[in-house]
Amino acid sequence: MNTEQIERIEHIAKRLATATRVTVLTGAGISAESGVATFRDPNGIWTKFKPEELASMDGFLKNPNLVWQWYQGRRDVLEKVVPNPGHTALAELQRWLETRGGRLTLATQNVDRLHHRAGSTDVLELHGNIVENYCSRCRKPHEYVFSDNPDQREPPRCTYCGGQIRPAVVWFGELLPVDVLAAAEAASEQCDVFFSIGTSAEVYPAAGLPIVAKRNGAFLVEINPNATALTRYADVVLHAASGAVLPQIIEALSSDKEQTTND
């Protein structure tokens, strides 16, 4: 790691040392090191399929079996992966802040629930989750557990109305859960430090959250190996993998804490 990156990490740790409210937005990039494909990277999902074909109600109505099988494939991957050090570091940061009377709000665009498995709590799932399902017609929740029946090749039928069952994710053209988005917006307005981690910052309204934070005076940190539309607004950018640098930020925090107790 070069000296510039070390300085940036120390700068972030210093900001965190005096922060009480921290808000984090994550995207597919934070799960990349767990082996979960992103969407817009060179070998990402959208290079093989068009988003509207798969992640939209029209796409589902046109080809329910294709869309259902696409989600089955992603569920199969999630059975085999585990949270990586980036997920774990965010759960640690949440606990560290809480011990000092602070608070971390984690809003994720991911549907993989790896943050939950890493120990993060009160996670705001902006785009829903891939574990639960509901009826596309009457919207009643539907009990389907992937591991009980991984060979289900087409959407199950609703036991109430016979409608086709769909995953509980937010598709393009669908509203995000109103209460979840409101909580994420409030946490973006009121935070001292905002992290945008592993997201191309292209999908709205999630991509608008860092700008809300910046506009309200937050210190904006972006962690992404590549530049994004957000990079120019960030106070500090770490062009690095989140699984590598998030643990280093946590480490810098504890050495910073030793520093202040020795002072």
Establish if 137 lies at the interface with Zn ion (CB under 5 A). Answer: yes
Q: Which does 181 bind (CB under 5 to 8 A by kind): Zn ion, ligand BV8, none?
A: none
Distance CA 22, CA 195 (A): 8
Instruction: Tell me the closest approach of the beta carbon of residue 114 to ligand BV8, in angstroms.
Output: 12
Give yes or no for a contact between 42 and 29, defined as CB atoms under 8 angstroms apart.
no
Give yes or no for a contact between 125 and 180, defined as CB atoms under 8 angstroms apart.
yes
Distance CA 150, CA 263 (A): 58
- Determine the 3-state secondary structure of 200 from DSSP: coil
Establish if 175 lies at the interface with ligand BV8 (CB under 6 A). Answer: yes
- Determine the 3-state secondary structure of 194 from DSSP: strand
Print the binding letters for residues 217-236 with ligand BV8: x by CB under 6 A, - otherwise: ------xxxx-x--------
H-helix or E-strand spanning residue 132: strand 128-135
Distance CA 136, CA 166 (A): 6
Establish if 115 lies at the interface with ligand BV8 (CB under 6 A). Answer: no
Establish if 105 lies at the interface with ligand BV8 (CB under 6 A). Answer: no
The overall longest dimension of the chain from CA atoms, in Å, is 68
Considering only residues 186 through 215, tell me which ones interact with ligand BV8, judged by CB under 6 A.
Answer: 198-200, 202-205
Q: Cis (ω within 30 of 0) for the bond into 155?
A: no
Residue 127 annotated to the active site: yes
For residue 55, give the amino acid letter: A
Q: Which does 137 bind (CB under 5 to 8 A by kind): ligand BV8, Zn ion, none?
A: Zn ion
Print the binding letters for residues 155-194 with Zn ion: x by CB under 5 A, - otherwise: ---x-xx-x-------------------------------
Interacting residues toward Zn ion by CB under 5 A: 135, 137-138, 158, 160-161, 163
Interacting residues toward ligand BV8 by CB under 6 A: 27-30, 32-33, 38-41, 44, 55, 109-111, 127, 169-175, 198-200, 202-205, 223-226, 228, 241-243
